[in-house]
Structure 1
Amino acid sequence: MTLRHIDLNLLVVLDALLREKNVTRAAESLHLSQPAASTALARLRRTLGDELLRRNGRYLELTPRAESLVGPVKEVLATIEQTIIRPPAFDPATDSLRFSVIGSDYVGATLVRPLLTRLHGLAIGLQVNVTPVSVRYLEALRRDEVDLAILPDRIVDERSIPDCSRMPVIVERFVGAVWRHHPYAGTRLTADLLRRAPYLEYAPSGQRAIVEDDLDAAGCTRRVAASSSSFATMVFLLSGSTDLVAVLPERSVRRAAASAEIRVLEPDMPLVPLRESAFWHRRRDRDPGHIWLRERLFATARIEFPDVVTDSAA
C-alpha cells in the first residue's frame, strides 16, 4: 500500500472513530449520517487491513493497531490544519474561530464570563464552548481534543501531560460561608462551628475536593449534611432558613452575598489557596487564533486575579 491508495478524507473519520470509539457519536461529531460513517469505517478496515473497532460486550474498543494510530493520525491532521489550511495570521474582525474550553462552573463565572465581556465586538466570528470537567480531561489534553482546559493545579500531574503547555490564571483564597441569619455563626470560620453545624460539601464529579484535605490537616471534623458539584449552586443552598456551613472560593461568596443573603467568614485555620492553570497541547503554541485568544484570557486573568503571575510570551 502506498500513499496514493489512501483517501486522506478518511483520516478525519478515522480520527473521530479513534476518539469516540463509537460509530454513531463519531458521525454526529462530523455532521455525517450513521450509514456514511459505517461505510467509511468499512473502507478504513479494508485499506488498513485491521478491524480497528471491535465489540467487547455492549461497547466497542480499539484494537492494538488502532491504539497505535491515535497519536500519528492526530499529528498528521494537526500539521495539515496548522500549516496548510489555516492562514498564517488571525484577524478577529473577519476570521471565524471555534474555541473549546474545559472548566468548572466557577471558572465559567469568574474567568470566562469577564473574558467574553472583553471580547464583545472584537471578534464577530468567535464561538467559545465551555464544557464541564469530566473523568477524561487528561485524555482530551493528551489527544489535543480541546483548545484549553482550566484546572486546579493540585489535581494535575504535569508528568502525565508532557506534551502540554501551562499558564497560571487563577489564585483565589477560601473562606467560610453561611446564611446571613445563621443561628450561631459569628464572623469567623472556626473548628467549633464546623463541628457543630451541618456541613455543605463541595464534591466535584462525586470526588473529594482539595480543600477537604486542608480541613482534615487542621483537625476540623465535619458532619456532611449535603453536597454539590457546583459552587454557584452551593451559595444558594446556604440561603434561607438553614444552618449549613460551607467553605468556598471568596469571589463565589462575595458576588452572591447580597442576593443570596450570605455572610463571609474569615477562616481560623490555614487553607491553601485555589490555584488554577490553563493547559493546552503544544501543537497549538504557535497557532495564530489560539495565541490571540489566550493572550486575552491571560489579560483578563491579571485583572480578575491580581495575584496571578503570567508570562505574556507563553
Structure 2
Amino acid sequence: MPRTDLNLLIVLDALLEECSVSKAAKKLNVTPPAISKSLNKLREAFQDQILVRSGSLLILTPLAVELKPQIHNLIKNIDAVLNHNLSFDAGSASLMFNIVSNDLLISLLNSGFLDEMQDKEPNVVLDFSYDHGAADFLRKDNIDLYIGESRKLSPEIKIRTIHRDKCIIVANKNHEILRLNKTLENIASFGFISTRSKLNDDVDSLFTLQGFQRKIVGINPSYFSTIETVMRTSSLAVVPFFFLNALESFNVDVIAFEPQITLPEVNIIQAWHPRHDNSPPHKWLRDNTKDFLRKKVSAGV
C-alpha cells in the first residue's frame, strides 16, 4: 500500500473483526457496497484476498490472520493520538509546570493552591520563577504560564484577566503623612520605594498630569522587599489593595491609605504562548490557578 489511506485501514480493521461485509458496514455506519469497494482496494493493495468464502461464511486468509492484531493496535494508537485532548487526567498525570510570577502571587499559590493540589493531583509539580521583565520570555519552551500584573508581552501571546484591583499607598505606622491631609502635594513631598512593574509608570504619569513628580528613592524587585523597606524607613509605596489584605496573615506593621485622587488600577492576568492554547494539561493549569486566585484576591485573601 504505497500511500496508506487511513479510511481503508479502518475498514480493514472492521472486516478482520467481523468477517462480514454487512456487519462491517453496520459497525462503520456505511453501506455494504461501500465496504465491498474498499475490500477490493485492500485486496489489490495487499495482493491478497483478505477474506475468502467458506460455505456460507467468510474466513480470513493466513495474511489477514497475521495482520489482524497489528491493524487493530495501529487503529487504537491512531485513535489515542487523535483523541489525546479528551484523555487528560490530572489526578494520575505526572507533570511539571513552569510559572513566572511575582512574590505575592507565588506565596498565595504555595500556601493555598499547593495544598488543594496535593489532595487531588499529587504528581503535579509547580516550578516558580520571578519575572525579569523581558517581553518575549513566554516564547521559550521552558516557560508555561505567566501570572502577574499586566505588562508588555510579545504580540502573539494569549492573555486572560483574573482580577482588576484598586491601588493604595502604604506607610509605616509612625509616618508623618498619617497626620497630614492626603493631597498629592503632601504625598509627593515624601520619597517613594518603587516595585518594578508597569504600575509604577502609571502612577508616575498620574502625578505628572497633576503637576507633581514622585521622588523615587529606591526600586525593589518584589512587593515583600518593598513593604519591608516601608516598615524601616520614611518612604511610601503604592501597592494593589489585595496585597495589603494578604499581608495581614504576616502581621506586617504598615498603615494603608487612599489619597485624595484615584490611583491607577492594576490588572492581574494570566498569559501564555499560543502553542499551549489547546493543551488539556495547560488548560487545567490555567483554569485551576485562575479560579483559586480569583477567589483569594476577590475575597481579600
Question: Shorter-chain TM-score: what band?
Answer: 0.5 to 0.7
Is the Cα contact below 8 Å between 1:176 and 1:188 reproduced in 2?
A: no
Deviations 1:244-303 (A, max 9, x none): 211111222233357221101112222221102211122222222112222211211331
Q: Which residue of 2 aligns with 1:169?
A: 162
Counting matched residue pairs gives 219
> Gaps (5+ residues) in structure 1?
1-81, 308-314
Q: Which residue of 2 aligns with 1:10?
A: none
**Aligned ranges 1:87-98 → 2 under 5 Å:** 88-98=86-96
TM-score, length basis structure 2: 0.63
Deviates more, 1:298-307 or 1:278-287: 298-307
Is the Cα contact below 8 Å between 1:141 and 1:161 reproduced in 2?
A: no
- Tell me whether 1:254 sits opposite 2:245 in the alignment: yes
Distance in 2 (CA, whole Å) between partners of 1:122 and 1:187 is 51
Q: Which residue of 2 aligns with 1:225?
A: 217
Distance in 1 (CA, whole Å) between partners of 2:179 and 2:247 is 19
Structure 1 residue matching 2:164: 3-state secondary structure: strand
**Alpha-carbon distance change, 197 to 280 in structure 1, aligned in 2, over 3 angstroms:** same
- Tell me whether 1:234 sits opposite 2:251 in the alignment: no
**Alpha-carbon distance change, 298 to 234 in structure 1, aligned in 2, over 3 angstroms:** same
Structure 1 residue matching 2:224: 3-state secondary structure: helix
**Aligned ranges 1:62-141 → 2 under 5 Å:** 83=81, 88-110=86-108, 113-136=111-134, 138-141=135-138
**Alpha-carbon distance change, 274 to 110 in structure 1, aligned in 2, over 3 angstroms:** farther
**Alpha-carbon distance change, 184 to 299 in structure 1, aligned in 2, over 3 angstroms:** closer
- Tell me whether 1:277 sits opposite 2:269 in the alignment: yes
**Aligned ranges 1:296-311 → 2 under 5 Å:** 296-306=288-298
Deviation at 1:92, TM superposition (A): 2.4
Distance in 2 (CA, whole Å) between partners of 1:122 and 1:188 is 51
Distance in 2 (CA, whole Å) between partners of 1:188 and 1:174 is 18
Deviations 1:76-115 (A, max 9, x none): xxxxxx958x785222222111001111223323456433
Distance in 1 (CA, whole Å) between partners of 2:133 and 2:239 is 22
Task: Name the aligned partner's letter for residue 139 of structure 1.
Answer: D
> Gaps (5+ residues) in structure 2?
1-79
Is the Cα contact below 8 Å between 1:202 and 1:209 reproduced in 2?
A: no
Task: Name the aligned partner's letter for residue 104 of structure 2.
Answer: Y
Distance in 2 (CA, whole Å) between partners of 1:306 and 1:231 is 19
Q: Which residue of 2 aligns with 1:146?
A: 143
Q: Which residue of 2 aligns with 1:156?
A: 152
Distance in 1 (CA, whole Å) between partners of 2:201 and 2:108 is 19
